[in-house]
Structure 1
Amino acid sequence: MKKTALIIIAFIALTGFTKFVSTWENDDPHSQLGFTVTHLGISDVSGTFNDFDVKITSSKPDFSDAKFELTAKAASIDTRVEARNNHLKSADFFDVEKYPELTFKSTSLKKDGTNKYKLTGDLTLHGITKSVTMDLKYRGTVVNQMTKASTAGFQLEGVIKRSDFNLGAGFPAPMISDEVQIKADGEFIQK
């Protein structure tokens, strides 16, 4: 009896100090990774990466300690114009043969208001890694009535510079803006 009581007390003590980490993965049909550049200084052209995976790990229900990891296939770039897509995949821009993936791994997450954060991490694009900071909004967690899965929503916005990653160096602004607007929306399912 004493042995059983000691085991139960030890278990409770150990689990009291253990953080339960949740893993979340993007739900493809309800997630998108988009970008916008300005062409000739007068119009915006938008596109997406259609093949990407994001993993979030967090031990807090408000995701205030979350870690984010993204991997996207550069060849999945889609601007709705095949000739432009092919040019963006070439060595003039993404050089997808040499650099098939772009990645992001978070390094810090700082509160910036109610359900708002500054997400900083290392973005690797075109073989170059730079630290970037983006605005992240946590949009809540619900139980999806169709799948019965816990589902969290996030929206990310920010700006990167093409020149920081040597993308399209032969196409200066204002032909194509150096600043690239990033906007991602995602639903994430708890695994």
Structure 2
Amino acid sequence: MKKTIKNLAILVLAVVVTSAFTNYKGEKKQVKVDHSKVVWKGYKVLGSHEGTVQLKSGILEFDKEKLTGGEFVIDMTSLVSTDLEGSDSKAKLEGHLKSDDFFGVEKYPTSSLVFTKVKASGKNAYDVTGDLTIKGKTHAVTFTMSIYGSKANAALKIDRTKFDIQYGSPNFFDNLKDKAIYDEFDIVVDLEF
């Protein structure tokens, strides 16, 4: 009997120690890609262009109500311009953005974002660091994400030159004058899960 109680105590201790050092992953919530929106905006000396790109998949991880992680795949082939509706310039811009000068979607049809660190910064806000992969190159990005019920939003500023997208950059080409395209572009994300 003493031996049985001792073995049971050792087993309980082993379970407690193991669970204390095991990472709790919590609940994974699928992002409803058809109800979510990703808007991009790029800037040049003489103006800007904007459009959308679709999520292929997305997951947000929670421990109870607290955001703990996330992972997204972006369908780069879905990239479209929304500021040039109904014009020949629209097809030309979209084709150029999908070419090797920019996102090279034939070779790199998807991009991804994997959260590596999430820290609460307010009641519904989180400071997020993640690994962003575009054109096979991965760099860390930081941004704030807000969560309200089953919705989340975030805004990211991305330096395209880190991902080998140098076309029209005044940091790589001289004498561009009014044809220069700024290195940073914006992404605004509205998610439903």
Q: Which residue does the alignment assign to 2:44?
A: 39
Decide which of 61, 64, 73 is 1:71's aligned counterpart: 73
Q: Which amino acid aligns with 2:160?
A: R
Is 1:172 paired with 2:174? Answer: no
2:93 to 75, 84, 97: 84
C-alpha displacement of 1:37: 1.3
Q: Distance in 2 between matches of 1:83 and 1:51?
A: 23
Q: What TM-score do you get using the length of structure 1 for normalisation?
A: 0.76
Query: Does 2:165 align with 1:163?
Result: no
Amino acid in structure 2 at the alignment position of 1:176? I
After TM superposition, give the deviation of residue 44 of structure 1 in Å. 2.8
Identify the residue that residue 59 of structure 1 maps to in structure 2: 63
Q: Distance in 2 between matches of 1:61 and 1:22?
A: 9
1:136-155 equivalences under 5 Å are: 136-139=145-148, 141=149, 152-155=150-153
Q: Is this contact kept in 2: 1:50–1:78, CA < 8 A?
A: no
After superposition, the CA RMSD in angstroms is: 2.2
Secondary structure of 1:107's counterpart equals strand
Shift of 1:100: 1.4
* Equivalent-residue separation in structure 2 for 1:21 and 1:38 (angstroms): 39
Given the superposition, is the C-alpha separation of residues 117 and 20 from structure 1 closer, same or farther in structure 2, using an over 3 Å criterion?
A: closer
Report the equivalent of 2:187: 182
| Helix, strand or coil at the partner of 1:95 | coil
Q: CA deviation at 1:51?
A: 4.1
Counterparts of 2:117 and 2:41, CA distance in 1: 25
Moved over 4 A (4+): 17-20
Q: Which segments of 5 or more consecutive residues in structure 2 lack a partner in the other structure?
A: 1-7, 83-89, 171-177
Over alpha carbons, which structure has the higher Rg?
Answer: 2
Task: Measure, in 2, the Cα distance between the counterparts of 1:181 and 1:69.
Answer: 19
The number of aligned residues is 161
Paired position in structure 2 for 1:144: none
Deviation at 1:26, TM superposition (A): 1.5
Counterpart contact for 1:34–1:49, Cα < 8 Å: yes
Moved more, 42-51 or 128-137: 42-51
Q: What secondary structure is seen at the aligned counterpart in 1 of 2:96?
A: helix
Equivalent residue number for residue 115 of structure 2: 106
**Is the Cα–Cα contact under 8 Å of residues 33 and 58 in structure 2 kept in the other structure?**
no
